[in-house]
Amino acid sequence: AIKSLDGAERLLRLESLNLYSNKLADISELLRLRPLSFLAELDLRLNPIIKQESYRLFAIKYLPRLRRLDGADITSNERSRADCLFANLDYSSSGEGSEDGCDETEETAQVAEQEPSA
């Protein structure tokens, strides 16, 4: 079973990655996928990582080219929520900042309440 995405950053042309039912647990492992500019679909269902609070929004924020995550299309509402929730964290190499119009305190509370449990 896969526990780390070490080396995945070299798969530059990868468009879809199915890691269904593995042992990925550390949310920071997703950051290894940031160089994959063609990655549009990612499936991490049945991995411990999906139990982490705001996992889906973290993946949407830091893998902005994704169109589908865990078998579900990513909505514009989710993108907005992810931008607001993670506005103060900068894991990007491009230094992406926060989006205008985010009330971070209110949005963070709303996301925590609305986040579906895995």
* Distance, CA of 45 to CA of 10 (rounded, Å): 23
* pLDDT band with cut points at 50, 70 and 90 for residue 108: very low
With a CB cutoff of 8 Å and minimum separation 6, the contacts of 40 are: 15, 16, 65, 66, 67, 68
pLDDT (average), residues 1-9: 97
**What pLDDT does residue 90 have?**
65
- Reply yes or no on whether the pLDDT at 34 is more than 70: yes
At 18, give phi and psi (nearest 5°).
-110, 110
Q: Which residues pair with 68 in a beta bridge?
A: 41, 73
Q: Is the pLDDT of residue 114 over 50?
A: no
The pTM score is 0.77
H-helix or E-strand spanning residue 56: helix 55-62
| Cβ atoms < 10 Å from Cβ of 5 | 19
Is a pLDDT exceeding 60 seen at residue 50? yes
Among 31-35, 69-73, 74-78, 105-109, the range scoring the smallest mean pLDDT is 105-109
Q: How confident is the model at residue 88 (pLDDT cuts 50, 70, 90)?
A: confident
Cα–Cα distance for residue pair 26/13, rounded to 1 Å: 24
